Structure 1
Amino acid sequence: MPHQTDYCILGAGIAGLSLADALSAHDLNCVVVEKNTPGSGASGTTGGLVNPATGRRAKKTWKAEQCYDAIAANLEKVQAYSDTNFYQNNGLLRPALLEKMARKMKEQHENTTWPEGWCQWKCKDEIQEIHPGIKCVDGGLWLPIGLTVDIGSYIKAYGRYLKDNGLSIICGEQPYPILEDDYWLLELEEITIKADHLVFATGHTIATSPFWDWIPLELIKGQVAKFKKESGHLSFSHSISSLGYIARLDEEGTFIQGSTYEHDFNHLNPDEEGESYLRKRMRRTLPQLEEQSTLVDQWAGVRTSTPNYKPILGVHPAYSNLHLFSGLGSKGLLFGKFLAEHYADHLINGTPLYPEVDINRFT
């Protein structure tokens, strides 16, 4: 007999696991099917930031307060279950590297309402007091609430947490879903899944699906590199966002430099050009650190983005039980948990989707 479930979710990255968690919290049965392992796609990057001030102007992100609260609470929940520390509340420094950048960042900060204590403008001397020797022109921002996350480790721990709490996660399978009457059938190696609803949360491979080839997705390859300072510990405890980002992973001198934004690419592997690009960005911010750092590892993944840089949530226009959760881009860690809860609320209680993320903006 087929294994019957309310929702079958394809993809065990940030989107898929977060949605399965949110739906399960409403006592709905879910099965997650992943072609590799949890976090094996773009969600599994070795390090990233929870940063609500993004872009060259450090603009406050969409729904920043709700998104931050959701991911911070989830990190704490999963961390309590894991023996390995995968995130730090160590703050984020955003120095301006050009006069024009400093002026626009300061204007943006002055015209933005931030929660108390979230984001502070610092003059050049104050920035260099926080981080002696860092390149800075006319000031920058200090965000005490910035979080640094080993995202791959977080996703793996999240998967273990959900499985131990009753969620079925099936890995190493890539079935082709078949619509039969009003349900979906997915033939796996050992079982057949019969699902009332099917959700695609498969990242960049959505662009190759005939169900979703009408969605204007943009695919962006991103590379990050793990470096280690050759001698001694890092002289700073925070992470940095300027040209790319530097995510401080531990006290032993290991950190992540990210990320490239490759719109035209012909392979999915990390390469020497990526390392060179990342080193150049590091050199612009911390030249002495770049000289003293050795490459430990390098990672590449493909993110999905949309014309308005917002994710996509919603039901397929032709199939009332076929859903999409994609387009998280580089803000997947910040957006994922909040939007999963938002979509679960929409499905269960009929709460309208935010128009900025509603799939109907493309229909």
Structure 2
Amino acid sequence: MIRVDYLIIGHGIAGATLAQELRRRGRSVLVLDTPQPDSASNVAAGLMNPVAGKRYALAWRAEELMPAAVQFYQELETRFGQTFFYEAPILKLFSSVAEQNTVLARSADNPWGNFVQDADAPLPAVRGLKQEFGGLRIQRGGHVLVREVLAALAAEGIREGWLQHETFAWEQLVPAPDGGSGLQYANRVQAQHVVCCEGAAAVQNPYFHWLPLTPNQGEVLNVECHGLSDEYVLNKGAYVVPLGNGQFRVGATYRWPPFAAGITDDAQQELSQRLEAMTSEPFRITEQRAGVRPAVRDRKPLLGTHPARPEVHMFNGFGSKGVMMAPRLANLMADFLENGTELWPEVNIRRYSALYNTVLAAAGAGSSGSR
């Protein structure tokens, strides 16, 4: 029997960061993960952008989340002797004169802090870039090689025994026998806590199916474009992340259910048109990939403990910003699990208690009607 403090389900960016934080605190951890090359974390470009969206809004808690994320990835770089985080200015391009005027008028209130030093400054002359309306130059952003991060941690986990590749079966999770504490899985693992980090698959989770997880599908392109500068990340309806040697990742689309089976021509056309709006240089598509993000109705992650099962927890729902949010929130979640520290209300699953109570009441009514 394997005995651990924490059994973590899933090794995407959520499960990986939480496992690292708990292990750093000296806790025993076992991660069970089904390898999925096209998981959301593996497909993601790893963009860390503090100013996002059509409203040019400062990302939620960016001043706190960004430094924690950078520190986390840089510590992994030292540990593994690899480069994972590439800091680069982000050029967020205006689409029209009206948009330019609106954003520059807002800049008088300095809504972006030190992420934007001078909103009125012209953009640098960038090889291959269309910038007829100008844009914002965003500092302290960049991108993370997410697939490489997860691969390095998974190799370490398999070597050291704290990660196993297998598909988790919820029906094999039962209370510990003989009055023991915690839960037992498959007659071979006993854990004090089980933490669900399985991404979009959580819609099938029997403990947390009541949460408003609304997965969406995204597609990305890898392109070759030797005429475009690789000094900057570009953003205008899509992002363009430099991968080196004239290679870029362009993304991403958003599609709600029903999902397509794999990649689509529509997504390729959409992303190609968005790239053409940013560069006049010819490009060649070298790869197209699709993945499903674990998004949430209010665009905030889901952290907390099941209302009726104190051994079962959720750390999930990071959507398209998991690379930036997960390291700091893993620290927050570990404080909650280990010390009972209160979670931030914006991410605490208690904000959806009414949904749980509704499901519970419906289940009770169904049981009464069946008797």
Give the TM-score, by structure 1 length.
Answer: 0.89
Q: Percent identity?
A: 26
CA contact (8 A) 2:199 2:294 kept: yes
Residues 38, 289 of structure 2: 8 Å contact kept: no
- Structure 2, unaligned runs of 5 or more: 354-371
**Which stretches in structure 1 are left out of the alignment for 5+ residues?**
none
Matches within 5 A, 1:49-60: 49-60=47-58
Number of equivalences: 348
Partner of 2:274: 281
Match of 1:341 in 2: 331
Which of these residues, 267, 270, 295, is aligned with residue 285 of structure 2?
295
Match of 2:298 among 277, 283, 308: 308
Mapping 1:125-274, distance limit 5 Å: 126-127=122-123, 129-131=124-126, 134-136=129-131, 138-161=133-156, 166=160, 168-176=162-170, 177-181=172-176, 182-187=181-186, 192-229=188-225, 232=226, 234-250=228-244, 252-274=245-267
Q: 1:332 aligns with which of 322, 335, 358?
A: 322
**2:27 and 2:309 mapped to 1: Cα distance?**
20
- How many Å apart are 1:131 and its aligned residue? 2.2
AA aligned to 1:299 is: R
Match in the other structure for 2:66: 68
User: Cα gap change, 1:210/1:108 in structure 2, threshold over 3 Å: closer, same or farther?
Assistant: farther
The 2-side partners of 1:81 and 1:268 are apart by: 38
Q: Which moved more, 1:267-276 or 1:256-265?
A: 267-276
CA-atom RMSD in angstroms: 2.2
Kindly provide the amino acid, as one letter, of the partner of residue 273 in structure 2: K
One-letter amino acid of the counterpart of residue 207, structure 1: V
| Structure 1 Cα separation of the partners of residues 105 and 346 of structure 2 | 25
User: Which stretch of the first structure deviates more once superposed, 254-263 or 151-160?
Assistant: 151-160
2:192 match: secondary structure: strand
1:136 positional shift: 3.4
More strand by share: 1
One-letter code aligned to 1:294 = R
Q: 1:336 is aligned with what amino acid? A: A
Question: Mapping of 1:20-59 within 5 angstroms?
Answer: 20-36=19-35, 41-45=39-43, 47-59=45-57
Distance 1:174 1:109 in 2: 49
**CA distances 1:45-64 after superposition (whole Å, capped 9, x unpaired):** 25231111111122111111
- CA separation of 1:185 and 1:143: change in aligned 2, threshold 3 A: same
C-alpha separation between the residues in 2 aligned to 1:41 and 1:179?
28
**Hey, which of these two has a bigger chunk of helix by percent?**
2
Per the alignment, residue 340 of structure 2 pairs with 350
Q: Is the 8 A contact 1:78 1:161 kept in 2?
A: no
How far does residue 276 in structure 1 lie from its aligned partner after superposition? 0.8
Which residue does the alignment assign to 2:363? Answer: none
Structure 1 residues 64 and 55: alpha-carbon distance in aligned structure 2, compared to 1, 3 A threshold: same
Is the Cα contact below 8 Å between 1:6 and 1:30 reproduced in 2?
A: yes
Residues 171 and 146 of structure 1, relative CA distance in 2, 3 Å threshold:
same
Determine the C-alpha separation between the residues in 2 that align with 1:196 and 1:74: 26
> Which residue number corresponds to residue 10 of structure 2?
11
